[in-house]
């Protein structure tokens, strides 16, 4: 399972890269805005690409087809690892198919149903991003969607990777792993939570206490 960091914060990206856990990065307009980097968007993506030797998703903000293509072509020139993130709309899907034919990788985002994921896969998306946390927020099950997508993508041998997004806790990650999801994009806080177990802490304390006994 690949770990992407869901962040545009350079310090967080460097820290997770230093741990040797970073396979890629995903950003979105909200994450870019959180870093106040809207005006330096391309520069920020370039900086992220210098740290990560893997896919870096950069999302377009246009909603019309021509605007999406214009932004996508510009972003794709930043680095060979840039993946264009497009929303799950008819224009987004049309743009996905255009970019697929140009061999530019696309991550179709804001996926909330199996039908949306099938459409994105058929258009040639390299990744689909189902948002598990936001489905849970509306009393639906995000993990049921991951289970359904794993089954359907397996049935047809789609090459599109399932990139689990909107992960809010370690259970979202471990259950997605059990279901065979290809990628998890994780906020920094959830990655750090993955390390924790009270028995690890008490075990270290006991080892050190025993060592220091006279
Ligand atoms: O990758 C998408 C993610 O950033 C959305 O997460 O927590 O805003 O639903 P969240």
Mean pLDDT of the chain: 98
pLDDT per residue as tens digits for the range 68-92: 999 999 999 999 999 999 999 999 9
Q: Residue 118 above 90 pLDDT? A: yes
Atom 5, ligand 1: residue with shortest CA distance: 166
Q: What is the mean pLDDT of residues 108-135?
A: 98
pLDDT at position 164 is: 98
165 Cα to the center of ligand 1, angstroms: 6
213 Cα to the center of ligand 1, angstroms: 49
Atom of ligand 1 nearest to the CA of 166: 6
Q: Residue 4 above 90 pLDDT? A: yes
Q: Residue 209 above 90 pLDDT? A: yes
pLDDT per residue as tens digits for the range 140-163: 999 999 999 999 999 999 999 999
48 Cα to the center of ligand 1, angstroms: 18
112 touches ligand 1 (CB under 6 Å) = no
> What's the whole-model pTM score?
0.96
Cα–Cα dist 16/79, whole Å = 21
pLDDT at position 84 is: 98
Nearest by Cα to 87 from 76, 75, 95, 79 = 95
191 Cα to the center of ligand 1, angstroms: 14
166 touches ligand 1 (CB under 6 Å) = yes
160 touches ligand 1 (CB under 6 Å) = no
pLDDT per residue as tens digits for the range 15-55: 999 999 999 999 999 999 999 999 999 999 999 999 999 99
pLDDT at position 214 is: 84
99 Cα to the center of ligand 1, angstroms: 24
Q: CA dihedral in degrees (187, 192, 198, 202; nearest 10)?
A: 180
Per the annotation, the verdict on 85 as an active-site residue is: yes
Contacts by 123-127, CB closer than 8 A, 24 or more apart: 123/93, 123/94, 123/96, 123/97, 124/96, 124/97, 124/99, 124/100, 125/96, 125/100, 125/160, 126/83, 126/159, 126/160, 126/161, 127/55, 127/57, 127/83, 127/160, 127/161, 127/162, 127/163, 127/182, 127/183
27 touches ligand 1 (CB under 6 Å) = no
Q: Which of 77, 85, 103, 213 is catalytic?
A: 85
Q: What is the mean pLDDT of residues 99-128?
A: 98
Cα–Cα dist 164/51, whole Å = 22
Atom of ligand 1 nearest to the CA of 168: 7
pLDDT at position 169 is: 98
Atom 8, ligand 1: residue with shortest CA distance: 166
Atom 3, ligand 1: residue with shortest CA distance: 166
Cα–Cα dist 32/28, whole Å = 6
Q: What is the mean pLDDT of residues 87-108?
A: 98
Q: Residue 135 above 90 pLDDT? A: yes
């Amino acid at each position: 399972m690949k770990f992407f960091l869901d962040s545009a914060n350079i310090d967080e990206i460097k820290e997770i890269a230093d741990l040797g856990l970073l396979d890629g990065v995903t950003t979105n307009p909200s994450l870019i805005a959180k870093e106040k980097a809207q005006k330096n968007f391309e520069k920020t993506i370039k900086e992220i690409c210098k740290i990560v030797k893997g896919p870096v998703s950069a999302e377009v903000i246009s909603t019309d087809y021509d605007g999406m293509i214009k932004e996508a072509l510009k972003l794709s020139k930043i680095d060979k690892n840039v993946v264009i993130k497009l929303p799950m709309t008819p224009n987004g899907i049309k743009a996905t198919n255009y970019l697929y034919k140009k061999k530019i990788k696309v991550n179709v985002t804001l996926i909330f149903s199996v039908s949306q994921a099938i459409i994105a896969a058929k258009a040639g998306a390299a990744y689909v991003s189902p948002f598990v946390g936001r489905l849970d927020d509306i009393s639906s099950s995000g993990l049921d969607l991951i289970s359904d997508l794993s089954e359907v993508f397996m049935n047809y041998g789609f090459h599109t990777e399932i990139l689990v997004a909107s992960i809010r806790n370690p259970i979202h990650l471990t259950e997605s792993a059990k279901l065979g999801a290809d990628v998890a994009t994780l906020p920094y806080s959830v990655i750090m939570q993955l390390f924790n177990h009270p028995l690890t802490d008490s075990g270290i304390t006991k080892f050190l206490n025993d060592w220091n006994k006279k």
